[in-house]
Amino acid sequence: MIMETNSSQVLVEANRLAKQYPVAQGWFKPPASLYAVDGVSFRLAAGRTLAVVGESGCGKSTLARLVAMLEPPSSGDLKIDNIQIDQASRSDLKRIRPMVQMVFQNPYASLNPRKKVAAILDEPLAINTKLNKFERKETGLAMLAKVGLQAEHYSRYPHMFSGGQRQRIAIARALMLDPKLIVADEAVSALDVSIQAQVLNLFMDLQESNGLAYLFISHNLAVVEHIADEVMVMYLGKIVEQAAKRHVFDEPLHPYTKALLASMPRLTAKFPQKRSMLHEELPSPLNPPPGCPFSNRCPHKKDACSAAKPALQDFQGRWVACSRIAEIA
């Protein structure tokens, strides 16, 4: 199932995308299969933000690496700019790869401490363009200004900056090749709350000026509520709910989505009487429960929930994977 976007200009289309890893279990046992991403489908249009949320281990970062083409999927189809990646020619891949850039979680680790900002920003242009040294420097200085840094920062090393400034440098590096899609994997989680707001506003300003699309990976629902257009909730590698942001935050349907929102701090609680909390531990992805993967933690579980895995279905204008959704909504 693929959720329709509000724009006809689809930039990314994933269809039943999956990533499987073999996991050793000992000397005399065959390796087990861990499905980090299991049959994920979505569309992302230019200028839109799709946020992917869920607990640690749900497959968010693996999905980010698949879309950023850092890892190949085990199965399924991924199209970027209407080019199917696993069937793309070398010339198509050379054209597509600069369109997709990634901003990583930790700005202290994602920047080479031995290189000055000048070299960090120059490298993408030196490899992928025919600009001369002077043109590359002018482009780098202009990009620094765009992300709110000064020309004097161009000749400094990463250790001379604060965390927020380092993430701005990482964003500037991602923008050097004028991409269409930014994959942001927990891009503000390592920053102080006050700095998070500045970086989020920077993301939104750049989206408005450059028409960027964002695949925004986060466990922080307050951040997602601020920046997202659509929200995809994942659990053990699967989508359990996908909808426009206002539907997910104002009227969640899946029990897991409700539990995530119940744990979100709010100044004014939208659900003061009904707080659906998660009591059981997240099951091992190597040994998920039979049937519905959320069944061992779901307050609405019945015997039928363990019989078969629920498929994503269109219910009240969003996609939900729950066989009892008509009863519990």
Confidence at 7, pLDDT banded by 50, 70, 90: very low
Encode pLDDT of 106-142 as tens digits. Answer: 888 999 999 999 999 999 999 999 999 999 999 999 9
Give me the percent of the chain exceeding a pLDDT of 90. 69
Confirm if 298 and 255 have CB atoms less than 8 A apart: yes
Confirm if 196 and 188 have CB atoms less than 8 A apart: yes
Residue holding tokens 């390796």?
A: 31
Q: What is the DSSP string of 85-130?
A: GGG--HHHHHHHGGGEEEE-S-TTTSS-TTS-HHHHHHHHHHHH--
Higher pLDDT, 194 or 321: 321
What average pLDDT score do residues 176-194 get? 91
Span of 101-115, 139-153, 263-277 with lowest mean pLDDT: 263-277
Q: Alpha-carbon Rg of the chain, whole angstroms?
A: 21
Is pLDDT of 296 > 50? yes
Question: Taking the alpha carbons of 298, 304, 306, 308 in that order, is the dihedral positive or negative?
Answer: negative
Is pLDDT of 280 > 80? no
What average pLDDT score do residues 3-13 get? 70
Confidence at 191, pLDDT banded by 50, 70, 90: confident
Domains belonging to the chain, first-starting first, are 10-114+157-328 (3.40.50.300)
Identity of the residue numbered 66:
L
Residue 201 exposure: Cα atoms within 13 Å on the Cβ side:
8
Q: Compute the CA torsion angle 245, 283, 279, 253 (nearest 10 deg).
A: 30
SS3 194: helix
Higher pLDDT, 26 or 218: 218
Is pLDDT of 273 > 50? no
In terms of DSSP bridges, do strands 75-80 and 83-84 run parallel, antiparallel, or are they unpaired?
antiparallel
Higher pLDDT, 262 or 138: 138
Is pLDDT of 17 > 70? yes
The pLDDT of residue 91: 92
Phi, psi of 207 (to 5 degrees): -65, -40
Q: Which residues pair with 66 in a beta bridge?
A: none
Give me the percent of the chain exceeding a pLDDT of 70. 93
What average pLDDT score do residues 205-212 get? 93
Query: What CA–CA distance (Å, rounded) separates 329 from 327?
Result: 6
H/E run at residue 326: helix 325-328
Residues ≥6 apart with Cβ < 8 Å to 97:
69
Residue holding tokens 């509000």?
A: 6
Higher pLDDT, 119 or 193: 119
Confirm if 10 and 44 have CB atoms less than 8 A apart: yes
Encode pLDDT of 88-111 as tens digits. Answer: 999 999 999 999 999 998 888 999
Question: Taking the alpha carbons of 322, 325, 327, 329 in that order, is the dihedral positive or negative?
Answer: positive
Is pLDDT of 5 > 90? no
Mean pLDDT of the chain: 90
H/E run at residue 137: helix 133-146
What average pLDDT score do residues 167-191 get? 93
Residues ≥6 apart with Cβ < 8 Å to 203:
171, 182, 184, 187, 214, 227
Span of 116-130, 175-189, 202-216, 315-329 with lowest mean pLDDT: 315-329
Residue holding tokens 């994997």?
A: 185
Higher pLDDT, 146 or 32: 146
Higher pLDDT, 176 or 266: 176
Is pLDDT of 244 > 50? yes
Residue holding tokens 């930039």?
A: 11
The pLDDT of residue 108: 87
